[in-house]
Structure 1
Amino acid sequence: MSDKTGVVSEDTSSRLVVLFLTYRLYILGAASLFVFALVAFALYHLTAEVRYDEVLAALSATSWSAIALAALFTGLSFFALILYDVNALDHVGRKAPFPSVAVTAFMAYAVGNTVGFGPLSGGAIRFRAYSRLGLTPGEIARIIAFVTLSFGLGLLGVSALATLAVAPRVAGIIGVDALWLRVIAGAVVAGLAAVFYIGRNGRVLTMKGFRLRLPDSGTASRQFLVSALDIAAAASVLYVLLPETHVGWPTFLAIYAVAIGFGVLSHVPAGLGVFEAVIMAGLSNAIGIDQLLGSLVLYRLIYYVLPLLLATLLLLLTEMRQLALRPGVAEAAQLAGKLAPALIATLSLLLGAMLIFSSVVPTPDTDLDFLSGYLPLPIVEGAHFLSSLIGLLLIVAARGLGQRLDGAWWVALAGAAIAFAFAFLKAIAVFEAALLALFIVALLANARAFDRHSSLLRQALGPSWLMAIAVIIVTATFILLFVYRDTNYAHDLWWQFEFSEEAPRGLRALLGLAIAASTLALSSLLRPAHYRTEGPTPEELNQAVAVTMQQDVADANLVRMGDKRLMFSPSGRSYIMYGIHGRSWIALADPIGAEEEFPELVWQFVGAARAGGGRAAFYQISPALLGACADIGLRAFKLGELATIDLAEFELKGSRFANLRQSYNRGLRDGLTFSVVSPGEVASILDDLRTVSDGWLDHHNAKEKTFSLGAFDDDYVLSQPVAVVRLAERIVAFATLMVTDTKAEATVDLMRFAPDAPKGTMDFLFASILDYLRNEKYARFNLGMAPLSGMARREAAPVWDRVGGALFEHGERFYNFKGLRAFKSKFHPRWEPRYLAVSNGTGAVLALMDVTFLIGGGVKGVISK
């Protein structure tokens, strides 16, 4: 009974784990939204005694000199942020032109600080930019890890040192004993000092096969100074905006660092609300809440919005040929153009939020009085209501803009143009109209970047976007309740239409927004089940084979199996072969055909997968395709390394292949003979080949595989040359050869031998194939991929690489990883990395599971082997 209960419990746990992995992003998004809602509720009560007019008065009281100082400190902070990337590049041993690094870092932080969530994050921008500068995915991952870790450790160090210096003062403000503050801060400083000492010479730490190279003393010291400059300058932005107070700068620095830390840990976009709550809780005893709110609003505008607007202006300047053609600037200008979609998408998101927030705050009385003399009330009411809906439309369009959709470009342009007109009809909002005009100009100047044809309406919003919309709506609700705190809410409030009645106007706008957003969320969450495309027709298969034979990739002959679906480019000169299992649409290797068509074919595939309710993944792709995948927003995860032999250098008579020559000579002494049977003659030996294949499968207790491997299918075997080994005229081993007309590459697929074949027959077969292909003037031989190879000793490797490295080192029980690598190494090949590209880490795990099922023939095939 207990065993049965244990099995049930284990099965339930496994299902819960699978359920969490499947809906992880939705669960974490809902948790972050719940935290944000709690923070908004707390802020509402913290501001119980504050009125909207008092906040406006505090804003008006801020001097222009304070605003100028805040802008200066913002520039200083962003200069330090650029140095993060400079130091990171130095740490990984790579060099890049400073203008390109500066543009990349500035745009990454301008976008990341403003929105702070996955699809438009600074990490995605770095991957797109640095991959175009020649950095590998591993190096980019290390740069992102270096930047993230440096900021976290710098934040800890600065806040701890500041707290040690002014512990009594901080204790009096936040109500915590000064001794405990000093103990905690001292422990943090001691821990950081220990890490600094251990890594003083660039020491490498090794734990259970995982290697981590700590930065040397010079790098660590330099980075700490950069982090301290960044955090100190960012804190000074807010400090100079505060009114006169007895809170000293060191005390404020400690509180600011804690607030930033909580904002980051909350995973709420840009730490919105969480940062404000901590600042208000820490300083409310020293500064009036109304003044604090006014300073926080200005801080958000100057430190977050201003850099984004400057980045947009810089983008427009790079479109001017006179500037872009200057030496040293051309490359940075070109890089800025490549990052334009992400930047414009972020601006669209920001403007959408601005339109929504402006719909729940009152219009100045002077503006309303002016409008009442020229416009009828219905026009003002309609413009106000529709502006909030256009705000939601711009947020939705932001996702498509980030993906370079032409439909999103048209929607954003039309929406911004209408909102520009409404800015003058609902209120004479000159600043709002100016921002919309800048957005429209940016769209028009970069129209050629949005060249991907896809229906925006077919694109379902993911969990990150749904959470961002929910956070904006919750924020709008908080603003409305705060602004009209003294309003007596009643049912008839909804039907009050007067120029002076602004609370009802805001309520109606918020209600319409909530209904539209809820409809959008439901349509995304309850979208129809994913569909599957049909398999290839004989005509499509023939077309794919014709394209394959003109290419240099021998593995493309796997298309002859007919078990994979095909997607052709509009010209028909290129195609992707892919399989579907579960929600995964998995493309096998790089596209085949004209390389100039690959980026758009990648997008075509990803768009089709998303429209079909699936997740797109690219399996075993080369480094050459990573840039196109990064442009779509996919992340690269290393799978292993592909081995290729330069056949021009292969010579059995040389000392380099002495062991292989011995196996070959032993096979000759045993009476083995080798020959290659052309496709037209394979039919005469097909039965003999089937006998060998069946014997091999029975001997190994194996089943035929599919997808990335061929199976013994009559049509498939008959379509290719077959290398055979005979013993006394009986076929004892064979391998199907995959070749193309270009003779650039050759490889083998099915490799089978009879159970009673002499020892060393496969080495004899391999040696004979290589010698034959060299004599036939083929350029290289593809030995296939060694899974997880090249991942075990990476420094500062991502989690994926650490897990892969551990499996390679200790996973012989499950798969002969080392043995396969050792076998291929006998041929002295050249190793090239191969990757899995997918949207995120969880998607990579699920995609790999689906690949396993595709290769094994489904769940039953995998279980039964």
Structure 2
Amino acid sequence: MAAELQSESPESAEPPTRSGWRAALAEYGRAIAAVFTLIVFAAVALAIYRLTEEVSYDDVVSAMATTGYDQILLAVVFTALSFMSLCLYDWNAMEFIGRKRPMAEVALTAFSAYAVGNAAGFGMLSGGAIRYRAYSRAGLAPDDIGRVIAFVTLSFSLGLAAVTALSLIPMSSEIAPLLDISPVWLRAFAIAILLGFGVLIVIGQRRSLSFAGVTLRMADTPTLSRQFLVTVADLAFSASVVYALLPEQAAISWPAFFAIYSIAIGIGVLSHVPAGIGVFETVILAALGPTTNIDAVLASLVVYRLIYYVLPLIIAIALVSFTELRHYSKTPALAGVGRTAARISPALLGALTFILGVMLIFSSVTPTPESDLELLQNILPLSVVEGAHFFTSLLGLFLVITARGLAQRLDGAWWAAMVGAAVALVLSLLRAFAVFEASALAVLLIGLFASKRLFVRPASLFRQVLTASWLTAIALICICACLILFFVYRDVDYTRSLWWEFEFSESAPRSLRAMLGLTIFSTALAVFSLLRPAAPAVTPSTPEDIEKAVGILGKSDVADSNLVRTGDKAVMFSPDGQAFLMYGKQGRSWIAFLDPVGPKKARDELVWQFVESARLAGCRAVFYQASPVLLPAIADAGMQAFKLGELAVVDLPRFDLKGGKWANLRQSASKAERDGLSYEIIPVADVPNVLEDLRAVSDGWLAQHRAKEKGFSLGAFTDEYILSQPVIVLRAEGNIVAFANILVTETKAEASIDLMRFSPDAPKGAMDYLFVSLLTYLRTEGYGHFNLGMAPLSGLSRREVAPVWDRIANTFYEHGERFYNFKGLRAFKQKFHPEWQPRYLAVSGGLSPVIALLDATLLIGGGLKGVVKK
């Protein structure tokens, strides 16, 4: 991005420093967010516990048992209709951005994204990750995928607010007593929301409104109207799922419940608690508790979670497994469905494994039905039942941890999940004849078997580091399990002797022991993850590393990979030693430059290896100037790509100065020759003969620009680096007045240059002449393309639904000339009529790309001082 910007070297630059609350936030931001989530959830758990003081576990179980089959069937139908509506979000988004895909592909992706997003929580992130993986393989660019995710998220948020407000106005008199507020205030709040929504629609009709350097654009009225209807249908059907399961004595009309449901969903989303679990239930219980039996409402909510959250996930796994087994790729019309299934299958299996692990944990702290215990007592010894109950909780925790490895396509995680699910299936039958649990585990086993070919990464499951979000999720599960335990055994007299009671009829001791085992092992896991030794610091490459990397890059088609020769970057090799990537560290970012170099299979594995190594070091992984070829591997690794700019590539066989469009360059080159300039290609063997002349030109250039050497994505003038490649020089009256080192590989597929420096007395137009001479020479030598370098922040989307990143970048591109000659650099490259290819900044961990780009800029400039200097 910063080509031809020279400044302070990394060795002499001072690293940027942060102080005060900003430093604390940067260092402990994730930990603070995790603690906040745990506090919110603990408060919600306490609220639920108090709301259900008069409710017993047996009452809830009895209420669930009285749920009619007609109610369940109706809830399933409404669930199907709701998910059909959800699929229309993606379909409308595709139509809006002008990138239509076959309906089958979109429906499978959207259905799976919502199934995972609803069950695992963080719908925009978890569901967005599935969309990114599926749509990137389908050929959509990252900015298009970002528009789809933004369109879906924004349309749902605005639609939810509008629907809630519209339903509150006529139903405020009925809902206000439930919420213990005045109907007037409730109606005023709804009107205020609608007025704000109306202002946004007016802005949308103006098409754009600029403020604080950011342009806000909204969809046109037909699109807004269509999407609003989809949101209404989605919320109406999903609310109807709960309403169908409510007991008959619930004294509330459907319109009033619809408003309460919308409010509960909104608060659940704002709480950032995964799947809004607990928060949603608290709002519903608080609203309906005074008018009906809380035990019946709680039972309805449990069944709702099973039908609306777990059932779609199981169906998604079944669909993907069926696709994998049938090998739809043989049918052209369904080939896209098969590709989509292959991309999202690991994420779906990981989500189902996570949910089933949680289900096993919760079932281990609840009593076994007495009828099942009587049957077990006749056929199994007590020790078997006790052991099955205890190990069920541990297996649940094991499956929760394994879920992360499945999402990363680890072969070890596949085997662990297969064994864990099989053992859990047996234990669920030995413990309580839990047919539903066993059936769900059987679906997981079938899905794992059908998708075996997708889990080919030979990485160790035990080397994976549980991040703050995963540790938070495990802590939330433990809090939930404790809440369920104390709710179920509210009336039990807790004494020391309870731990040692072993009887078929005593369920409380079994649940307590299972909870103790879960607490001990989860605490040990957290301590191990937090206190494990830090990964080694990033160290510059050794001469042996560079020699090995040079041997690999010689067979590649990427000329810029020669920048590994500078020695200022660390080098990471694939396990088979056939590929490498070069990277540096700035702040908490590990930044890889360019794509990995080597065979495709080894390159893809290196992406995972790099991301995992960065996580082991407690850092974030970043790919700087990633090409479109790398996008599928980036998506699989859970990274998101943002367009960084466009690379100018000249097709050398077509390069010819004849014709009108080349007139300016032709005239510039002719004038340079009349002024006495001539060029010469110095082969590697002869570069030592002119090394001191080149050094003099370089020193003069640096002095004239008051600059020092940069690094990372740019080379620096060192003897080892300059002597490693051929050089083109310009001479005037026999003296060298300009030079550039030429980057080439053995394949001759591509050539490029890095350092290009001129003495102060070089004639005007020397730069054009150097490029024209070099391109002509390379065409004669049979090279395929010439890489002119990247034009940063150019070619980003300016459409109505452009992501925030594109809008910020476009603003800086338009108004940042005082910092960098963005437009001038692109205009210079455009003179050679290149093909413009996109390049991306890929970031993991949901990090803002602005922070990653800042770290990359500091790394290139050699620290803050290097950036602010010219």
Regarding TM over 0.5, the answer is: yes
Alignment correspondent of 2:568: 563
Q: Distance in 1 between matches of 2:863 and 2:326?
A: 56
Alignment correspondent of 1:722: 727
Whether the 8 Å contact between 2:219 and 2:800 is mirrored in structure 1 is: no
Distance 1:847 1:154, change over 3 A: closer
- Given candidates 497, 508, 533, the residue that maps to 1:492 is 497
Superposed CA offset, 1:706-739 (max 9, x none): 2211111212211211111111111111111112
Residue 52 in structure 1 maps to residue 68 in structure 2: no
Alignment correspondent of 2:363: 358
SS of the residue corresponding to residue 290 of structure 2 reads coil
Whether the 8 Å contact between 1:205 and 1:214 is mirrored in structure 2 is: no
Q: Distance in 1 between matches of 2:411 and 2:751?
A: 41
- Given candidates 795, 799, 810, the residue that maps to 1:790 is 795
- Given candidates 612, 615, 618, the residue that maps to 2:623 is 618
Q: Distance in 1 between matches of 2:557 and 2:416?
A: 42
Of the structure 1 ranges 562-571 and 168-177, higher mean CA displacement relative to structure 2 is found in 562-571
Of the structure 1 ranges 252-261 and 824-833, higher mean CA displacement relative to structure 2 is found in 824-833
Identity level (%): 57
Whether the 8 Å contact between 2:704 and 2:760 is mirrored in structure 1 is: yes
Q: Distance in 2 between matches of 1:198 and 1:608?
A: 46
Q: Tell me the CA shift for residue 228 of structure 1.
A: 0.6
The AA in structure 2 aligned to 1:223 is Q
- Given candidates 226, 232, 236, the residue that maps to 1:228 is 232
Alignment correspondent of 2:444: 439
Alignment correspondent of 2:532: 527
SS of the residue corresponding to residue 188 of structure 1 reads helix
- Given candidates 161, 169, 175, the residue that maps to 1:170 is 175
Of the structure 1 ranges 114-123 and 495-504, higher mean CA displacement relative to structure 2 is found in 114-123
Q: Distance in 2 between matches of 1:859 and 1:649?
A: 42
Q: Distance in 2 between matches of 1:843 and 1:139?
A: 18
Distance 1:173 1:614, change over 3 A: closer
Q: Distance in 1 between matches of 2:123 and 2:28?
A: 16
Residue 203 in structure 1 maps to residue 203 in structure 2: no
Whether the 8 Å contact between 2:251 and 2:291 is mirrored in structure 1 is: yes
Residue 143 in structure 1 maps to residue 145 in structure 2: no
The AA in structure 2 aligned to 1:231 is L
Superposed CA offset, 1:677-733 (max 9, x none): 111111111110011111112222222222211111212211211111111111111
Root-mean-square deviation (CA), in Å? 2.3
- Given candidates 234, 237, 243, the residue that maps to 1:239 is 243
Superposed CA offset, 1:813-848 (max 9, x none): 333333323332333322222111121353645543
Q: Tell me the CA shift for residue 191 of structure 1.
A: 3.1
Q: Distance in 2 between matches of 1:673 and 1:605?
A: 46
- Given candidates 264, 286, 291, the residue that maps to 1:281 is 286
Q: Tell me the CA shift for residue 13 of structure 1.
A: 7.4
Higher relative contact order (CA 8 A, sep 6+): 2
Q: Distance in 1 between matches of 2:532 and 2:820?
A: 39
Whether the 8 Å contact between 2:214 and 2:808 is mirrored in structure 1 is: no
Residue 31 in structure 1 maps to residue 36 in structure 2: yes
The AA in structure 2 aligned to 1:429 is A
Superposed CA offset, 1:609-662 (max 9, x none): 334444322111111111111001011122222112223343334332333334
Residue 298 in structure 1 maps to residue 341 in structure 2: no
SS of the residue corresponding to residue 800 of structure 2 reads coil
Residue 810 in structure 1 maps to residue 805 in structure 2: no
1:706-717 residue pairs with structure 2 within 5 A? 706-717=711-722
Residue 316 in structure 1 maps to residue 338 in structure 2: no
Distance 1:861 1:219, change over 3 A: closer
Residue 425 in structure 1 maps to residue 430 in structure 2: yes
SS of the residue corresponding to residue 215 of structure 1 reads coil
Q: Distance in 1 between matches of 2:358 and 2:288?
A: 28
Residue 663 in structure 1 maps to residue 665 in structure 2: no
The AA in structure 1 aligned to 2:432 is A
The AA in structure 2 aligned to 1:109 is Y
The AA in structure 2 aligned to 1:312 is I
Superposed CA offset, 1:725-784 (max 9, x none): 111111111111112233322111111111232333323322322333233333322111
Q: Tell me the CA shift for residue 536 of structure 1.
A: 4.5
The AA in structure 2 aligned to 1:110 is A
Q: Which runs of 5+ in 1 are unaligned?
A: 1-10
Q: Tell me the CA shift for residue 792 of structure 1.
A: 7.0
SS of the residue corresponding to residue 284 of structure 1 reads helix
Number of residue pairs matched?
Answer: 854
Whether the 8 Å contact between 1:211 and 1:795 is mirrored in structure 2 is: no
Whether the 8 Å contact between 1:544 and 1:559 is mirrored in structure 2 is: yes
SS of the residue corresponding to residue 827 of structure 1 reads coil
Superposed CA offset, 1:584-610 (max 9, x none): 332210122323432223223333333
Whether the 8 Å contact between 1:615 and 1:843 is mirrored in structure 2 is: no
Distance 1:508 1:863, change over 3 A: farther
Whether the 8 Å contact between 1:384 and 1:422 is mirrored in structure 2 is: yes
Distance 1:466 1:766, change over 3 A: same
Whether the 8 Å contact between 1:576 and 1:588 is mirrored in structure 2 is: yes
The AA in structure 1 aligned to 2:235 is I
Distance 1:12 1:496, change over 3 A: farther
Whether the 8 Å contact between 2:178 and 2:287 is mirrored in structure 1 is: yes
Q: Distance in 2 between matches of 1:128 and 1:614?
A: 23
Distance 1:769 1:68, change over 3 A: same
SS of the residue corresponding to residue 686 of structure 1 reads helix
Alignment correspondent of 1:216: 220
Q: Distance in 2 between matches of 1:709 and 1:119?
A: 37
Q: Tell me the CA shift for residue 801 of structure 1.
A: 2.6
The AA in structure 1 aligned to 2:420 is G
Q: Distance in 1 between matches of 2:632 and 2:288?
A: 47
Distance 1:165 1:217, change over 3 A: same
Whether the 8 Å contact between 1:792 and 1:809 is mirrored in structure 2 is: no
Q: Distance in 2 between matches of 1:286 and 1:328?
A: 54
Residue 737 in structure 1 maps to residue 742 in structure 2: yes
Q: Distance in 2 between matches of 1:26 and 1:538?
A: 39
Alignment correspondent of 2:408: 403
Of the structure 1 ranges 31-40 and 21-30, higher mean CA displacement relative to structure 2 is found in 21-30
Superposed CA offset, 1:377-434 (max 9, x none): 3322222111101111100000000000111112212211221221122222222222
Residue 263 in structure 1 maps to residue 294 in structure 2: no
Q: Tell me the CA shift for residue 192 of structure 1.
A: 2.7
Q: Tell me the CA shift for residue 582 of structure 1.
A: 4.6
Q: Tell me the CA shift for residue 545 of structure 1.
A: 2.2
Q: Distance in 1 between matches of 2:149 and 2:714?
A: 35
Q: Distance in 2 between matches of 1:138 and 1:212?
A: 17
The AA in structure 2 aligned to 1:808 is Y
Of the structure 1 ranges 814-823 and 498-507, higher mean CA displacement relative to structure 2 is found in 814-823
Q: Distance in 1 between matches of 2:251 and 2:642?
A: 52
- Given candidates 828, 832, 838, the residue that maps to 2:833 is 828
Alignment correspondent of 1:4: none
- Given candidates 652, 657, 682, the residue that maps to 1:652 is 657
1:478-557 residue pairs with structure 2 within 5 A? 478-532=483-537, 535-557=540-562
Q: Distance in 2 between matches of 1:207 and 1:797?
A: 16
Q: Distance in 1 between matches of 2:530 and 2:802?
A: 35
Whether the 8 Å contact between 1:646 and 1:829 is mirrored in structure 2 is: yes
Distance 1:335 1:382, change over 3 A: same
- Given candidates 188, 191, 212, the residue that maps to 1:186 is 191
Of the structure 1 ranges 249-258 and 508-517, higher mean CA displacement relative to structure 2 is found in 508-517
SS of the residue corresponding to residue 641 of structure 1 reads strand
Q: Tell me the CA shift for residue 70 of structure 1.
A: 0.4
Q: Tell me the CA shift for residue 294 of structure 1.
A: 0.6
Of the structure 1 ranges 783-792 and 31-40, higher mean CA displacement relative to structure 2 is found in 783-792
SS of the residue corresponding to residue 748 of structure 1 reads strand
Superposed CA offset, 1:200-240 (max 9, x none): 5x834444554444222221111111111100000000001
Q: Tell me the CA shift for residue 535 of structure 1.
A: 4.8
SS of the residue corresponding to residue 834 of structure 1 reads strand
Of the structure 1 ranges 373-382 and 335-344, higher mean CA displacement relative to structure 2 is found in 373-382
Alignment correspondent of 1:8: none
Whether the 8 Å contact between 2:124 and 2:149 is mirrored in structure 1 is: no
Alignment correspondent of 2:779: 774
